[in-house]
């Protein structure tokens, strides 16, 4: 009962603060609703960025991967810091110079309207089919497990999951659709503090439990008993082979932190470039510490449960139940609930923005007033939220939530990154090249991962079993060798699509050079230490990798 009361209390506190912080924002205008009035400061941007990213698909999914494979999966966290630095130094100045509300707006200016619309449609498809349902499912799994909802309500696990999905979905929809970006960002910032505190408590309590009351003794026991879990270099059968760090991994990170609407929208709402860059750099530094929250607990769970959990994605909720004192369960569940809402809100708010600005205003009603655009954007957001709530329970059988999410995202992430990179680095590549790049990138990736990959792996496994190979480790090596890792596939397709676009640009160039105009919507004077601080963060990431390389 204490846990439930503290859960409700903290959740209401966040809602009340978010309401009072946003009640004077003019949300009838596009800038007011979609970008919080371009008033976000460094701390709000950093907090919102981190909590948008750090939700249950990260906390549950990545800790599940760490439970199975160890610290090598930290690549998804630590290398993100480098991508954020690149975004702060190179991409954000260009975005703010153009006064963008959405990333596809740049594609309209650089290529044409149909390229922008095609990209927005790709984003929206990926959000509703993949990202929103996974956020809802993973969050519901965590809440249902922590509060033992099946026992509490006297229902089956499946029914409890559906109840949690709809509860989270409806509350998240209210925040994102009716509150706008500023409500999302403010609530994110409050929850970010709670999540950092609560997230750090889990490994601390876990190590104390392992070390018989001594934190550092627990760390020694964990390392001495499981040295293989502390190797940052992934082998060919790992989910993150070492070579992928230099190929598709960095491309995925650059897409996510530099061009993904749900993330970059926080920085687009900055009051000026200086605040935006400071916010990104602060987020990058904290991101380096991310493995303490999203990797270490998974390894602790492996040691504590002796690798006997039926499913790796149960590692984090099971550890929370095992080590967190009863009086803190409600607080931590509220913080986790806030993280779930944050990611759901952020994707939903970005979807509303993309639809309202890039589709409704552009193609459905070009004469619409800003309040009308916001109105129909909200209606679309409600429809999208309900669609995600229906889809979420259908992904319950995914083997690894986090890996599944990253692989499926490749359908739209690499094609979009390709046309943005070529768009900024060239001046004469035409719109037809961008359209071909998007379509070929998506179709080739689908062909590779959902047709060719199963074909080659099935054949290789059949031959191995026919040859009498039954050892699980040997079969895993056969499977890994049968087809390139999906991160390598992303890198290959990125290079092919860039080359294709450049060839088209050489044969059929634009009539005139593309030049970017300064809209003067915000001050674009950069933070004077941005490069020095960014370099320091990059060195820190490399140092961590070297330290854990065995």
At 15 the pLDDT is 63
Whether 508 is covered by a domain: the verdict is no
Asked whether residue 506 is assigned to any structural domain, the reply reads no
Q: Is residue 142 one of the residues assigned to a domain?
A: yes
Query: Would residue 314 count as lying in a domain?
Result: yes
- At 147, which CATH number? 1.20.1730.10
**pLDDT, tens digit, for every residue of 499-512?**
999 999 999 999 89
At residue 29, the pLDDT reads 47
Domain assignment of residue 425, yes or no? no
| The pLDDT value given to residue 181 | 46
The Cα–Cα gap between 138 and 78 comes to: 22
On whether the CB atoms of residues 413 and 130 are closer than 8 A, the answer is no
For residue 537, is pLDDT > 50? yes
Within-domain flag for 330: yes
For residue 494, give every residue at least 6 positions away whose Cβ sits within 8 Å of its Cβ, in sequence order, or none. 248, 251, 414, 417, 418, 441
Task: Give per-residue pLDDT as tens, 478-524.
Answer: 888 899 999 999 999 999 999 999 999 999 999 899 988 888 888 88
Contact 211, 218 (CB under 8 A): yes
Residue 178: per-residue pLDDT = 60
**pLDDT per residue as tens digits for the range 328-382:** 877 787 777 777 777 777 777 777 777 887 788 888 888 888 778 878 877 888 8
Predicted local distance difference test score (pLDDT) of residue 72: 92
Query: Quick one: pLDDT at residue 30?
Result: 47
* Residue 79 confidence (pLDDT): 93
Determine the pLDDT at residue 87. 95
pLDDT value of residue 179:
53
Residue 450: inside a domain: no
Task: State whether the Cα torsion 261-263-269-270 is positive or negative.
Answer: negative
Q: Is the pLDDT of residue 438 over 80?
A: yes
The larger pLDDT score, comparing residue 65 to residue 125, is at: 65
- pLDDT, mean of residues 389-397: 79
Residue ranges of the alpha helices (H) in 426-529? 431-447, 453-466, 472-482, 486-507
pLDDT at residue 203 is higher than 90? yes
Q: Which domain holds residue 217?
A: 2-410+518-547
Q: State the pLDDT confidence band at 32, using cuts at 50, 70 and 90.
A: very low
Count of domains in the chain?
1
pLDDT digits (tens, 9 = 90+) for 140-159: 888 887 777 888 888 888 89
Does a structural domain hold residue 434? Answer: no
523 bridge partner residues: 272
Instruction: Write down the pTM of the prediction.
Output: 0.82
């Amino acid at each position: 009962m204490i846990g439930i009361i503290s859960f409700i209390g903290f959740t209401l506190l966040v809602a009340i603060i978010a309401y009072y912080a946003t009640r004077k924002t003019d949300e009838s205008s596009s800038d007011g609703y979609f970008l919080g009035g371009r008033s976000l400061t460094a701390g709000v941007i950093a907090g919102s960025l981190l909590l948008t990213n750090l939700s249950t698909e990260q906390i549950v999914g990545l800790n599940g991967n760490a439970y199975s494979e160890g610290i090598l999966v930290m690549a998804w966290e630590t290398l993100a810091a480098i991508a954020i630095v690149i975004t702060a130094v190179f991409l954000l100045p260009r975005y703010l110079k153009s006064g963008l509300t959405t990333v596809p707006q740049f594609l309209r200016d650089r290529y044409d309207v149909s390229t922008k619309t095609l990209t927005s449609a790709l984003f929206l498809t990926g959000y509703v089919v993949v990202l929103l349902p996974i956020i809802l499912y993973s969050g519901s799994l965590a809440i249902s497990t922590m509060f033992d909802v099946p026992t509490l309500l006297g229902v089956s696990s499946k029914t409890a999951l559906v109840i949690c999905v709809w509860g989270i979905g409806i509350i998240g929809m209210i925040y994102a659709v009716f509150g706008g970006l500023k409500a999302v960002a403010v609530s994110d910032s409050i929850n970010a503090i709670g999540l950092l505190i609560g997230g750090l408590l889990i490994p601390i309590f876990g190590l104390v439990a392992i070390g018989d009351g001594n934190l550092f003794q627990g760390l020694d026991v964990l390392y001495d008993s499981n040295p293989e879990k502390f190797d940052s270099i992934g082998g060919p059968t790992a989910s993150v082979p070492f070579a992928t760090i230099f190929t598709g991994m960095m491309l995925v990170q650059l897409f996510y932190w530099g061009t993904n609407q749900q993330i970059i929208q926080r920085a687009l709402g900055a009051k000026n470039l200086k605040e935006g860059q400071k916010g990104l750099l602060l987020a990058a530094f904290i991101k380096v510490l991310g493995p303490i929250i999203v990797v270490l607990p998974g390894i602790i769970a492996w040691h504590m449960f002796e690798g006997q959990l039926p499913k790796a994605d149960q590692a984090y909720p099971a550890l929370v139940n095992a080590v967190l004192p009863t009086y803190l369960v409600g607080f931590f569940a509220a913080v986790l609930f806030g993280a779930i809402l944050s990611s759901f809100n952020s994707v939903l708010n970005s979807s509303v923005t993309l639809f309202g600005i890039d589709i409704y205003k552009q193609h459905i009603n070009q004469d619409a007033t800003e309040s009308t655009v916001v109105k129909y954007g909200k209606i679309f957001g409600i429809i999208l939220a309900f669609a995600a709530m229906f889809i979420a329970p259908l992904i319950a059988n995914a083997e690894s939530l986090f890996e599944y999410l990253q692989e499926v995202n490749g359908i739209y992430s690499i094609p979009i990154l390709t046309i943005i990179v070529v768009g900024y680095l060239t001046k004469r590549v035409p719109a037809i090249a961008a359209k071909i790049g998007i379509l070929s990138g998506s179709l080739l990736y689908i062909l590779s991962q959902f047709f060719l990959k199963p074909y080659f792996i099935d054949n290789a496994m059949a031959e191995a079993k026919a040859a009498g190979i039954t050892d699980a480790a040997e079969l895993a090596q056969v499977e890994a060798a049968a087809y390139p890792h999906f991160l390598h596939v992303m890198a290959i397709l990125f290079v092919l699509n860039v080359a294709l676009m450049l060839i088209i640009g050489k044969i059929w160039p634009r009539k005139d050079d593309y030049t970017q105009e300064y809209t003067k919507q915000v001050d674009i004077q950069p933070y004077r230490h941005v490069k020095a601080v960014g370099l320091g963060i990059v060195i820190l990431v490399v140092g961590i990798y070297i330290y854990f390389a065995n």
